[in-house]
Amino acid sequence: MSPLAIGVLVCVSTIIVLGTGIPVAFGLGLVAISFLAIFDGIGSLDVLADLFFGGIAEFSLVSIPMFIVMGAAVASSPAGKDLYEALDRWLHRIPGGLIISNIGACSVFAALSGSSPATCAAIGKMGIPEMRERGYPDSLATGAIAAGGTLGILIPPSITMIVYGIATETSIGRLFIAGLLPGLMLTILFMAWSLYTAWRHGYSFNEEGYGFTLRQKLEILPRVFPFLIIIAGVLFVLYGGVATPSEAAGVGAMFVLILVAVIYKVYQPKRIWAIISDSMKESVMILMIIAASALFSYTLSSLFVTQSVAEHIVSLDVNR
């Protein structure tokens, strides 16, 4: 069988296996091992252990669990609620200001966690019930959270950018720089489009009784500013070349845990363990996918699929 035909079989098999609902890491590993054993023989599986652990034996990957700890600490403490409430207090006078608050909170949380699912879960848990209570339609409320959640993949420190940078040997710092401006632009566009949609459909919101005095607006800022300073500090040391992503992530995670303990009294072993446990679950999932992807990539290369596809594309008679 030709390598191109094998490649088609691999693609179809991967889609079918993942379509069954099996975890992505297990699905990729199953397809990779199966095709390697069938076409290269059982003896070719001797290298699997080295490939699997080699796929995650990168020092830069240490930054992934550290950034996840930052997000988990904020989400598991009242810090996330304070961040959300601070934006609401300052933006509530704008028609549909709660939508802007949600998207703004998504962008800030994305800068802490670097994860889209974590951003959606953390802000959606607080934002959707609040928007429903104030008369926002479900389509607008869920749409704002879903759109804001995607900022986690773009706004630094994005975990996806870290994985991509390691896989392609691209500077992670440069990837972060490249994602900053588009992330801010997308945040503004999401806000503008949400407000336009609300105005176009004539939605009326129940904002009466939700006014805040200047004192109420100011008193919440001291609880929010330290976390914003950490975000700015992490980005500064990354862009300034002062520290690597792993070092910046480690220091950022440590300071977030300290702030959560000092400001919100979250220092009980049980609550700290809950933060670490949640972070470990997500980190292991991501690292397992990376390791399985290394097996999958090796299988395609060993069966000459990637080389054949590259040669086929080069041979096409198209304008270059």
Q: Where are the domains of the chain?
A: 3-54+296-315, 62-267
Report which of 122, 255, 194, 58 is spatially closest to residue 114, judged by C-alpha positions.
Answer: 122
Which range scores top for mean pLDDT: 7-16, 37-46, 53-62, 116-125? 7-16
Tell me: pLDDT of 249 over 70.
yes
Band (pLDDT 50/70/90 cuts) for residue 279 is confident
Higher pLDDT pick, 167 / 269: 269
Q: What is the pLDDT of residues 293-306, one digit of tens each?
A: 888 888 888 888 88
Tell me: pLDDT of 66 over 60.
yes
Q: Which pLDDT does position 204 carry in this prediction?
A: 56
Tell me: pLDDT of 312 over 80.
no
Q: Which pLDDT does position 319 carry in this prediction?
A: 63
Q: What is the pLDDT of residues 204-245, one digit of tens each?
A: 555 555 567 778 888 888 888 888 888 888 878 877 778 888
Tell me: pLDDT of 55 over 80.
no
Average pLDDT of span 174-182: 87
Tell me: pLDDT of 288 over 80.
yes
Band (pLDDT 50/70/90 cuts) for residue 200 is confident
Tell me: pLDDT of 320 over 60.
no
Q: What is the 3-state secondary structure (H, E, C) of the chain?
A: CCHHHHHHHHHHHHHHHHHCCCCHHHHHHHHHHHHHHHHHCHHHHHHHHHHHHHCCCCHHHHHHHHHHHHHHHHHCCHHHHHHHHHHHHHHCCCCCHHHHHHHHHHHHHHHHHCCHHHHHHHHHHHHHHHHHHCCCCHHHHHHHHHHHHHHHHCCCCCHHHHHHHHHHCCCHHHHHHHHHHHHHHHHHHHHHHHHHHHHHCCCCCCCCCCCCCHHHHHHCHHHHHHHHHHHHHHHHHHHCCCCCHHHHHHHHHHHHHHHHHHHHCCCCHHHHHHHHHHHHHHHHHHHHHHHHHHHHHHHHHHCCHHHHHHHHHHHCCCCC
Q: What percent of the chain has pLDDT over 90?
A: 3
Q: Which pLDDT does position 207 carry in this prediction?
A: 55
Average pLDDT of span 187-200: 83
